[in-house]
Structures are given as structure tokens and as C-alpha cells.
Amino acid sequence: MSHGAEKTVSIQAKVRIFRACVLTDLLYASEVWSTTLVQEQRLNTFYFKCLRTLIGVNLCNRMPNEQLLQLTGQPHINDLLITNCLRWFGHVNRMHTDDNKLSMAKKVVFSYFPRANKPRNMGTQKRWQDKITEDLEKFN
């Protein structure tokens, strides 16, 4: 956008463009991500930097993230990630094949394969299944 046009375009229009162009690419395939804390922090940083750019707030003008979310009407990026994961989980949970057998995706998600326990050498990294369990517990 040219500098003259930026001032005449409403925040809502800028946010719609941001959601259509940037968020779709940023969150592509996020349904199956198992993010670490560092990755979530990087996503947060980029997300809020984009929102600040949309409304024209620079580093000199401090604005809390919560106020930024209210002003733009956007949810937190972590909420978007959780929503995407749970939506995919629900979709997989309802899947079945033509002959009423379990689909491959459902077998993977619900660990119908042998040795489905968490490997000992995984350390602090979560599996997707662990993340879904944690997200479901948040809402119960």
C-alpha cells in the first residue's frame, strides 16, 4: 500500500487482508503442529508485530498486547492454534472408511500402532497427541 492509502483504509479492512493473506500462510498446516515454547514465542512476536504495523503503532508508542488485540478484534495466536488443532482432532475423530474400519489418520491419532508410548529420549518435546490432551483439559 502507498503511504497515502494507508490512512484512508480502515483498521477492519486491514485486519481482513491480514487474516486472508498473512494468517493463512502463517498457520498453514498448524492443525498438526506440536509447538515448543520457543516456537510459540516466535509466533507471538511476529503476530503482534504485524498487528502493530496494521494500526501504525511503532516501538516508541508502547501498547500492551491485550489492548492491541481488543483494538483489532483479533484472538490471541495461541487460541488460533488450539482451535485449529481441536478442529482437526474432531474431524479425524469422526472419520471412517467405507467399510466402517478405522482410517489411517484415526489410527495414527489414537495410537493404534504398537509402541505408541512416548519415547524415552523425547525430553520436553510434546507429541501432537499430548498437546491435544492438554488443550482438551483446558476446556473441561
Q: Give residue 38's pLDDT.
A: 92
Q: Which residues of the chain have pLDDT under 70?
A: 1-6, 97, 100, 109-125
Q: Could you tell me which residues come within 8 angstroms of residue 92 by beta carbon, excluding any fewer than 6 positions away?
A: 103, 105, 106, 109
**Contact predicate 128/34, CB 8 Å:** yes
Give 71-93 pLDDT, tens digit per residue: 999 999 999 999 999 998 888 88
The pTM assigned to this predicted structure is 0.77
Q: Which amino acid is at 137?
A: E
**Domain positions in the chain:** 3-139
135, with CB counted inside 10 A (0-12, 13-18, 19+), is middle
